[in-house]
Structure 1
């Protein structure tokens, strides 16, 4: 899996710290306007654009809070310096600022509400799409009795390891989808091609998850051709998501009975995986597996659902 390009890393950083960056840019813009622009009152319309962005990316609550923050700063400037009018609060200043402030906050509220409704609808579509993948894997594995539920268990373990290693949420979701489809994808390359072009718009979360999963499965298909006793796995250019999938898959596979051997108990399976740490399996992933395995197993109500960000 290729490393994110600088532009993609910058984009991820921006959206991860959107609220802080937004407030900082807002303050800097306000300082610049009030120091460099003569027609300050005319530039009050400029703040509608940040409110639209705040509502679209931050939601209704953040947009309203940002609107109140902007209004407070503008009121402060009016009280101290004046906006193309005398400083202070008097009838003309209030009649000019109050309607503007109300419309500004209302703009953020409305845009934020629409953005939240859109996100809720997208989430429903994503969950339905990914639930279909779960049903698909159950159906495929039902033909082999000893494999029933294997991919779903691998997905749960892989996601838990990813969280223990503090991977980004998007990487965890890619890993979970890849784990659900790893049995099919490594056997039939047509699935990888289908996933890679499943959705044309890469800005849609489910498209990123499908493409990310295809990359993980593609790498995992050659995993055991690369690793071995003669290599230090930490030195191999394999993505951490692929290494996690290998650990989770091996751990769950050992706990399944096969025609040639009985199922390993949970802790025996863990010991077998730990024997390969540093050679066949990544040490960090194996350590995280031990931590995850020591936790109480979640009930059906506590099982994590599929979610794409």
Structure 2
């Protein structure tokens, strides 16, 4: 359990600070090449690789800026000590460096444009299947008046809490899908078997993108069998996404009327959840809920308000 979490944290740190790390790597590469390589001009082609990475991960604008930064560094070295030629900018130097600089920036621009178009198409696909899941949960919950919209509200609260805790975008997507399906998944294990089997079964390739959500639902199905007064929840090996889902689900469930009790007002529901902080619910998740519940509106269109059912 420890090794995967360390890798996930390292991956999250890298992509979160990608721009800064990228600039440092470029400077380090430039210094290393000019310190240890004699044929410096031949190594100018090396910079096409960082431009491709910058375009793919950072987009068109970042790739162009990175290209300009590299060109500026190379121009600085050429003006100071020269790249296998005399220092300064004269006819031969400009004839050698100008085409290279132009194609370098153009490479970043083209790769960045293609990457942004790809990301847009992926976003459209994700929005489409999320819309289908929302319609599915509305249809399933329409048979019970008190349940109508419950899963959607849990998803909105959970995603807002995850943003408050600054979780990676991938975790936000998995958490949203898991929250939409948490009522179905915990009642009907066939859904979990389908999604879990998608990891190795090519026959359910569409469901493979939801295996992260399936893992959250699976662990949440046993959540209340693990937590309790006898255990410190912070010491339990539960993913933070599962802890967030538990808090969001409890908060929204308390606001629904049942045959044996009336619906809790929002602040009363929040107080009930806070009573379980540190035992039934994770402290960080409860603090995130407190922050989210205190806002009249959540930015990013995730949640307009926390409604009382």
- Output the TM-score relative to the length of structure 2: 0.88
Query: Is the Cα contact below 8 Å between 2:229 and 2:280 reproduced in 1?
Result: yes
Give how far 1:198 is off. 4.6
Return the alpha-carbon distance in structure 2 between the equivalents of residues 74 and 21 of structure 1.
19
Give the corresponding residue for 2:87. 87
Give the corresponding residue for 1:163. 163
Give the corresponding residue for 1:230. 230
Task: Tell me: CA distance 1:275–1:187, structure 2 relative to 1, closer, same or farther (3 Å).
Answer: same
Query: Is the Cα contact below 8 Å between 1:178 and 1:213 reproduced in 2?
Result: yes
Q: Tell me which moved more, 275-284 or 212-221.
A: 275-284
Give how far 1:199 is off. 7.0
Give how far 1:200 is off. 7.2
Higher relative contact order (CA 8 A, sep 6+): 1
Return the alpha-carbon distance in structure 2 between the equivalents of residues 144 and 5 of structure 1.
39
Q: Tell me which moved more, 6-15 or 210-219.
A: 6-15
Unmatched 5+ stretches in structure 2 = 305-309
Task: Tell me: CA distance 1:287–1:98, structure 2 relative to 1, closer, same or farther (3 Å).
Answer: closer
Query: Is the Cα contact below 8 Å between 1:233 and 1:278 reproduced in 2?
Result: yes
Between the two proteins, the alignment pairs up a number of residues equal to 300
Query: Is the Cα contact below 8 Å between 2:61 and 2:109 reproduced in 1?
Result: yes
Runs of 4+ aligned residues of structure 1 deviating over 6 Å after TM superposition are: 206-209
Return the alpha-carbon distance in structure 1 between the equivalents of residues 259 and 82 of structure 2.
84
Query: Is the Cα contact below 8 Å between 1:170 and 1:209 reproduced in 2?
Result: no
Query: Is the Cα contact below 8 Å between 1:200 and 1:207 reproduced in 2?
Result: no
Task: Tell me: CA distance 1:13–1:132, structure 2 relative to 1, closer, same or farther (3 Å).
Answer: same
Q: Tell me which moved more, 91-100 or 269-278.
A: 269-278
Query: Is the Cα contact below 8 Å between 1:137 and 1:181 reproduced in 2?
Result: yes
Give the corresponding residue for 2:307. none
Give the corresponding residue for 2:122. 122
Task: Tell me: CA distance 1:249–1:22, structure 2 relative to 1, closer, same or farther (3 Å).
Answer: same
Q: How does 1:1-309 map to 2 (within 5 A)?
A: 4-198=4-198, 210-297=210-297, 302-304=301-303
- Output the TM-score relative to the length of structure 1: 0.88
Return the alpha-carbon distance in structure 1 between the equivalents of residues 301 and 59 of structure 2.
27
Return the alpha-carbon distance in structure 2 between the equivalents of residues 37 and 284 of structure 1.
51
Q: Tell me which moved more, 127-136 or 278-287.
A: 278-287
Task: Tell me: CA distance 1:5–1:245, structure 2 relative to 1, closer, same or farther (3 Å).
Answer: closer
Q: Deviations over 1:139-195 (max 9, x none)?
A: 111111110000011111112222233333332332222111110011122212323
Q: Deviations over 1:86-119 (max 9, x none)?
A: 1111111111111111111111111111111111
Give how far 1:80 is off. 1.2
Q: Tell me which moved more, 279-288 or 155-164.
A: 279-288
Give how far 1:268 is off. 2.2
Root mean square deviation of aligned Cα? 2.6
Query: Is the Cα contact below 8 Å between 1:277 and 1:286 reproduced in 2?
Result: yes
Task: Tell me: CA distance 1:213–1:3, structure 2 relative to 1, closer, same or farther (3 Å).
Answer: farther
Return the alpha-carbon distance in structure 1 between the equivalents of residues 287 and 42 of structure 2.
60
Q: Deviations over 1:211-267 (max 9, x none)?
A: 221111111111111222333333333222222211211111111122332222222
Give how far 1:303 is off. 4.1
Return the alpha-carbon distance in structure 1 between the equivalents of residues 180 and 6 of structure 2.
30
